[in-house]
Structure 1
């Protein structure tokens, strides 16, 4: 493989299946928000689940829509928390 670049091999890494949950406030209604499949409420925060491979693109999109990310959590950390175990 001399001189070849292998791209798109994120499926082989430990981070390939990881997802994160963004807590976003301040999203405004715009042409971009008309295309998404969840409702926007300006008075509260919105939770958006994002795969690891798209974190940067999603952060840029949220910023363009006027939102502010106030919290990021790994979904594996949420599932392992004692609070979620008590609720089940």
Structure 2
């Protein structure tokens, strides 16, 4: 019998985002936001839609989404 938790639930994706503005909402984040370049955010599969909406609300544009690789997790 398979585990009730899907392997998709454990996957992490990397969002490359440009154009986020520093504001009251982004001040509360644990990472700096810059207007001039892109930032990389690690997003769990289960939060992908929520994070897309948040980025849009903050004025950002997602320019790339890719799965986080095992090599990247061991480097961090």
Scaled by the length of structure 2, the TM-score of the pair is: 0.84
2: distance between equivalents of 1:37 and 1:48?
11
- Ranked by relative contact order (alpha carbons within 8 Å, sequence separation 6 or more), the top structure is 2
1:79 aligns with 2:71: yes
1:48 aligns with 2:19: no
Per-residue CA deviations over 1:14-73 (Å, capped at 9, x if unaligned) read 201100000000000111101100001111000000000000000000000000000000
SS at match of 1:15: helix
Task: State the match for 1:65 in structure 2.
Answer: 58
Over 6 Å off, 4+ runs: none
SS at match of 2:37: coil
1: distance between equivalents of 2:64 and 2:30?
21
Task: State the match for 1:13 in structure 2.
Answer: 6
Instruction: Could you tell me which runs of 5 or more consecutive residues in structure 2 were left unpaired when the two chains were aligned.
Output: none
Q: CA RMSD in A?
A: 1.7
Scaled by the length of structure 1, the TM-score of the pair is: 0.73
Instruction: Could you tell me which runs of 5 or more consecutive residues in structure 1 were left unpaired when the two chains were aligned.
Output: 1-10, 81-88
Larger strand share, 1 or 2: 2
